[in-house]
Structure 1
Amino acid sequence: MKNIKGIIAVVAIVMLSGFATMKSGYKIGDIATDFKLENIDGKMVSLSDYKDAKGFIVIFTCNTCPYSVAYEDRIIALDKKYASKGYPVIAIMPNNTEVQPRDNMEAMKERAKRKGFTFPYLKDEGQKISPQYGATKTPEVYVLQKTNKGNEVKYIGAIDDNYQDATAVESKYVENAVDALLSGQPIKESQTRAIGCSIKL
């Protein structure tokens, strides 16, 4: 009997540790709470500031990750295409700048100016928002849709299926998701695996 109890206890510990290592954060259908983060212009930005938005393309990105740099022009293109349709890009820099100082606010301002960012570029001071979302990579995207309940998570994952070559992309995951929302259709791929650098904690 003692052996059986011991086995059960071991199994329980293994199961609990397994759950503990599962990715936490938002799942499809969850309601994302609002935030207030500092933008590169010194102003505080919240999702609630966008009264006319139908939703948001929230992208965790940074200056230093080669994957994020490879996607910068495509992120700018997403904002230019969808902001006027009610789905603006909101970029958030989630790295710990003590670990990665080249992602500090001054560097963010410089990068945004050099690239001509058309969207807010916010700093997740204290790294409170990225864990809440469950973001682990840069870049990683969360498409939100405004509903009666709040901002509902509709898509999580990569921007598209080829970070190396924009001309070789076959599946534009974010565009497909937003287009589906705009047309009232279901999203065919609501979750993909984000490819990028690990967020620096």
Structure 2
Amino acid sequence: MKTLKILVGVALVIAISAFAIDKVSTPKIDGGYAIGDTATDFKLKNIDDSFISLEDYKDAKGFIVIFTCNHCPYSVAYEDRIIELDKKFKTKGYPVIAINPNNPKAYPDDSFANMKVRAKDKGFTFPYLFDDGQKIYPQYGATKTPHVYVLEKTNNGNVVRYIGAIDNNYKDASAADEKYVEDAVNALLNGQKVPVETTRAIGCSIKA
């Protein structure tokens, strides 16, 4: 009888442990990517009406994927800095890929037609893609605009190396003394570990 109780107890512990592991892993899947995860590719419509995926960039070493939009004041404040990131790193193998994750029915300013206007007015040097049906941003776990994911292209796919904000001062680029994305890409180009892997994205909530 004592042996039976011990066996029942062990079985119960195993069952509880298995349940606990499942409960721990579930938020990671639901919450998007973590550092070290491999990002799946996408195929989204660009403002020139072509469709773009990461696999199109055969010579890229990685990507600066930025979820952003037309109307959000935080996104607008960062537009010039996003352009500069693309100009600085595109030729080094890390192009910017901007994605508008917002539902235009909830926020008409972020419609595909208005994306074209905004990109032309600002002279975007990078693709500006529309997450039609809002299928991509939940995979990444993006919650704000802007929200950045730096990916490194490896033999095993595009690995997430940085998640978060562009820098530490959205109001004033000249006052930003921690340039998270720039530092992350420079580290990867130099074969070094990213100094700051995650930060809190500051911006408007994504409109579902």
TM-score normalized by structure 2? 0.87
SS in 1 for 2:163: strand
Change over 3 Å in CA distance of 1:56–1:106 after alignment to 2 = same
Query: SS at the partner of 2:76?
Result: helix
Q: Which amino acid aligns with 2:122?
A: K
Long gaps (5+) in structure 1 = 1-11
Aligned residues: 189
- Asked if 1:137 is matched to 2:144, the reply is yes
For residue 38 of structure 1, report the CA deviation from its aligned partner.
0.1
Correspondent of 1:85 among 92, 95, 100: 92
How much identity, in percent, do the aligned residues show? 69
Deviation at 1:84, TM superposition (A): 0.2
Deviation at 1:20, TM superposition (A): 5.4
SS at structure 2 position matched to 1:151: strand
Name the CA distance, whole Å, in 1 between partners of 2:157 and 2:64: 15
Which one has the largest radius of gyration? 2
- Please report the RMSD computed on the Cα atoms of aligned residues, expressed in angstroms: 2.0
Q: Which runs of 5+ in 2 are unaligned?
A: 1-18
Partner of 1:53: 60
Counterpart mapping for 1:76-115 below 5 A? 76-115=83-122
Which residue of 176, 181, 197 maps to 1:169? 176
1:43 matched residue in structure 2: 50
Residue number in structure 1 paired with 2:197: 190
Do 2:28 and 2:34's aligned partners in 1 also have CA atoms closer than 8 Å?
Answer: no
Runs of 4+ in 1 over 3 A off after TM superposition: 19-23
Match of 2:154? 147
Describe the superposition over 1:120-173 as per-residue Cα deviations: whole angstroms up to 9, x where unpaired: 000000000000000000000000000010000000000000000111001000
The separation in 1 between residues aligned to 2:40 and 2:171, in whole angstroms, is 33
Measure, in 1, the Cα distance between the counterparts of 2:164 and 2:27.
21
In 2, Cα distance between equivalents of 1:160 and 1:54: 22
**TM-score, structure 1 as length reference:** 0.90
- Preserved contact between residue 66 and residue 99 of structure 2 (Cα < 8 Å): yes
The match for 1:69 is 76
Contact kept in structure 1, 2:41 and 2:55, CA below 8 Å: yes
Q: How far, CA to CA, are the matches of 1:176 and 1:126 in structure 2?
A: 33
Q: Tell me what 2:6 maps to.
A: none
